[in-house]
Chains A and B, each alone.
Chain A
């Protein structure tokens, strides 16, 4: 199975901060990488697929990069609605696996 390691597991940031979350795969997954965020009590929402393709309707302050084993999600200027938990997911091979999550909290 491919292990997905996210870091950090949590962070505190202020509105307007630049935030970076990393995700590392235990083997190469090319660009088969999704990023989601999830708010309490809600279903996850897809932000980015194929490592860097922003989903329709997702604000441009979100961006993704990377390929192979190392990936990054960046929020260029954190907004109040961005406080949530973020997950990466590899879709390269089954079992599809998620990172452990990064909780972004208000400083």
Chain B
């Protein structure tokens, strides 16, 4: 059974940094693209970033390009999202998902506020 468990969310001041993790199990993690998607409170879903299986190729939404970095550790079956220069508009629940988008993790809440 595929399982994804996000962690690392919390309250951070504007301009601060946070690293999210997504622990994966139940599939051959290193073989697949992985994604981050976020959802601001009361709003819709927004794709953030993706990374290929060996970590050599990444894509980002324009809104996070240059501030966020996606990475993975295939030995640990873990996906990461390093978030720097955080803004109030980055406040959201962040989900990880495999390339076929089933299932998603439970999400981790990031709140950017002073």
A-side residues, CB < 8 A to B, are: 34, 36, 38, 43-46, 49, 55, 87, 89, 91, 94-101
Contacts and interface: CB of A to CB of B under 8 A. Distances in A.
A43 B106 contact: yes
18 contacts: A34-B101, A38-B45, A43-B95, A43-B107, A45-B102, A45-B103, A46-B100, A46-B101, A46-B102, A91-B101, A94-B59, A95-B61, A95-B62, A96-B47, A98-B45, A98-B46, A98-B47, A101-B45
A96 B62 CA distance: 11
A43 B104 contact: yes
Interface string B53-82: 000000101100000000000000000000
Interface residues of B, number: 18
Interface in B9-66: 35, 44-47, 50, 59, 61-62
Interface of B: 35, 44-47, 50, 59, 61-62, 95, 100-107
A96 B50 CA distance: 10
A94 B107 CA distance: 22
Contacts of B106: 43
B46 A43 contact: no
A49 B97 CA distance: 14
A55 B105 contact: no
A32 B54 CA distance: 24
A100 B46 CA distance: 10
A24 to B, nearest CB: 16
